[in-house]
Structure 1
Amino acid sequence: MALDLWLVYAAACVGLSLTPGPSGLLALTHGVLYGLRRSAATIVGGALGFVLVVAVSMAGLGALLAASTTAFTVGKWIGAAYLVYLGVRTWLAPSPYVRLGAGQDLPEVSARKLFFQGFLCASTNPKVIIFFAAFLPQFMNPASPFLPQFMVMALTFAAIEVLYEFVVAGSAHTFAPWLSKARVGRWFNRITGTTFIGIGSALAVVNRS
């Protein structure tokens, strides 16, 4: 992947990570309930789950490309449209809500259990798989081998997501009450939704050239 394309991909991954979703809210909640150190297991599990999702999505895209180059191009257009649709849905979504609890009232939870909670949260959400199937073709080169592209895309997103979730979990006691405010949460959704609409629109224009 060329450096300029990778920079665009990395920026898009940052926007994706900042969008409210199950994994980010799980890291936020575990940060509040268990603290940053124990939440690390949740975050690592989620990162591995996302790597699995990227692998599944790219395998399907590889089969699509093998079947028809035209179908692959159509898939890219559909993907750009889906990004715009997701942006609109995020913009209109209600404010994120995180239930704050008292850590001392919770039963002891093993790191293994937290790990699998993070892994399952990231890997079993069908909307995540659909999103990556729409998102990844915008940055793939059909003429290049898939394995190196997979490694770059999967590891880039996993690294950004891990960094983001560590920040969220580490600042959970301050961040969660602020995000749970209706007005702040609405603006957060609008900013991230507008980001996705912009990315989808820009990719649709680039595809025409």
Structure 2
Amino acid sequence: MSLELYAAYVLACIVIILVPGPTVTLIIANSIRHGSRAGLANVAGTQAGLAVMIAIVGIGLNTLISGMGHWFEWVRLIGAAYLI
């Protein structure tokens, strides 16, 4: 990999990290327009939504693993063999 290509990659990564996402943009816009109380309400709402999403994913994965039964043991063993 050339130095120029690596520098362009690092620069692109830095730009992607520094650009705020849609949630941050919404929180900032609402805080400017409606005050800090509305901004804090947006933060609470986004964090509650994230917690609900994580819980739903956890329940779904638990159901999937429970439904797989003995197949999950094989997948686990194959994954361990791959890591070794």
Whose helix fraction is larger, Structure 1's or Structure 2's?
Answer: 2
Distance (whole Å) between structure 2 residues aligned to residue 50 and residue 22 of structure 1: 14
1:24, CA displacement in angstroms? 1.9
Q: Tell me, which stretches of 5 or more residues in structure 1 are unaligned?
A: 1-17, 78-206
TM-score after normalising by structure 2: 0.52
* Residue in structure 2 matched with residue 165 of structure 1 by the alignment: none
* Residue in structure 2 matched with residue 55 of structure 1 by the alignment: 55
1:70, CA displacement in angstroms? 5.6
TM-score after normalising by structure 1: 0.24
* Residue in structure 2 matched with residue 31 of structure 1 by the alignment: 31
Of all paired residues, the percent bearing the same amino acid is 23
Q: Tell me, which stretches of 5 or more residues in structure 2 are unaligned?
A: 1-17
> Does the Cα contact within 8 Å between 1:65 and 1:72 map onto a contact in 2?
no
In structure 2, relative to structure 1, the CA distance for the partners of 1:39 and 1:67 (3 Å cut) is same
Distance (whole Å) between structure 2 residues aligned to residue 20 and residue 35 of structure 1: 20
In structure 2, relative to structure 1, the CA distance for the partners of 1:58 and 1:20 (3 Å cut) is farther
Q: Give the length in aligned residue pairs.
A: 60
Distance (whole Å) between structure 2 residues aligned to residue 45 and residue 31 of structure 1: 14
CA distances 1:68-124 after superposition (whole Å, capped 9, x unpaired): 326875xxx9xxxxxxxxxxxxxxxxxxxxxxxxxxxxxxxxxxxxxxxxxxxxxxx
Larger RCO: 1 or 2 (CA < 8 Å, sep 6+): 1
User: Aligned ranges for residues 139-158 of structure 1 at < 5 Å?
Assistant: none
* Residue in structure 2 matched with residue 44 of structure 1 by the alignment: 44
Bigger-Rg structure (1/2) = 2
Q: Does residue 208 of structure 1 match 2:78?
A: no
Query: CA RMSD for the aligned pairs?
Result: 3.1
1:55, CA displacement in angstroms? 0.9
